[in-house]
Amino acid sequence: MNTSGIVEKIANNGKAFNIVVSGEWYGYGFSAPSFTEGQTISFDWKENGRFKNVVVPSVRVLPAAAAETPAPATEAAPAKAGGRGGYGATQLSIQYQSARNAAIEVASLLVSNGALALPPKKGDQADAVMAYIDDLTNQFHVKCDKVVANGGVYEEELEKAMGTPEDDF
């Protein structure tokens, strides 16, 4: 299922994050969302029993103008070629796969060098590594999406590198 709307609340119960969008609660997982309350987002979600869980890699922050005309909840339709500024479903799939592969590589390097703290139980270790890979995949995918949207420039990183006039004082 796909929906979009304004993020009304982001909650953390100590472990997992949950969000409220258009009056509905959704499970978000164990990583903090990259968006804030008040922003308009679009995302896919899956029903698990009585819970609705966000498919984190599908989350997209929409421009502020989209907040004025939120799209109603609809069934997810296959992506059309040429959608999203010329990106077709194939290109989005490649973008996601690349983000996932990079996340797996980074997690592998961190685990093999002991740089990723893992719980003592083997079963918990697998869950922790998978959650970390999911989080990194989302971060990499969002960054890639922003680079594409800005014509090849990731503005947040550019701003950090350049600094602001206030930083000079």
Same domain (yes/no): 86, 150: yes
Average pLDDT over residues 129-158: 75
**Contacts with 47 (C-beta within 8 Å, 6 or more apart), sequence order:** 1, 53
Q: What is the pLDDT of residues 95-118, one digit of tens each?
A: 778 888 888 988 888 888 989 888
pLDDT at 159 over 80: no
Of 42, 34, 114, 37, which is closest to residue 71 (Cα–Cα)? Answer: 42
DSSP notation for the chain: -EEEEEEEEEEE-SS-EEEEETTEEEEEESS--SS-TT-EEEEEEEEETTEEEEEEEEEEEEPGGGGGSPPPPB---PPPTTHHHH--HHHHHHHHHHHHHHHHHHHHHHHHTT-S---SSHHHHHHHHHHHHHHHHHHHHHHHHHHHHTTS--HHHHHHHH--GGGG-
pLDDT at 6 over 60: yes
Q: What is the pLDDT of residues 65-101, one digit of tens each?
A: 544 444 444 444 444 444 444 446 677 777 778 888 8
Domain total for the chain? 2
Which residues on neighbouring strands pair with residue 151, listed in sequence order? none
pLDDT at 138 over 60: yes
Same domain (yes/no): 9, 56: yes
Residue 119 pLDDT: 87
Q: Which domain holds residue 144?
A: 79-163
Residue 84 pLDDT: 47
Q: Which two tokens stand for residue 11?
A: 């909650």
Residue 35 pLDDT: 92
Rounded CA-CA distance 140/145 in Å is 9
Residue 160 pLDDT: 64
Residue 9 pLDDT: 93
Number of other CB atoms surrounding residue 20 within 10 Å: 16
Same domain (yes/no): 106, 158: yes
Q: What is the pLDDT of residues 20-43, one digit of tens each?
A: 998 899 999 888 998 999 999 999
pLDDT at 168 over 80: no
This model's pTM is above 0.75:
no
Average pLDDT over residues 160-166: 58
Same domain (yes/no): 111, 45: no
Same domain (yes/no): 112, 153: yes
> Any idea what the CATH number is for the domain that residue 43 is in?
2.40.50.140
Angle, CA of 111, 115 and 121, to the nearest 5°: 55
Same domain (yes/no): 33, 58: yes
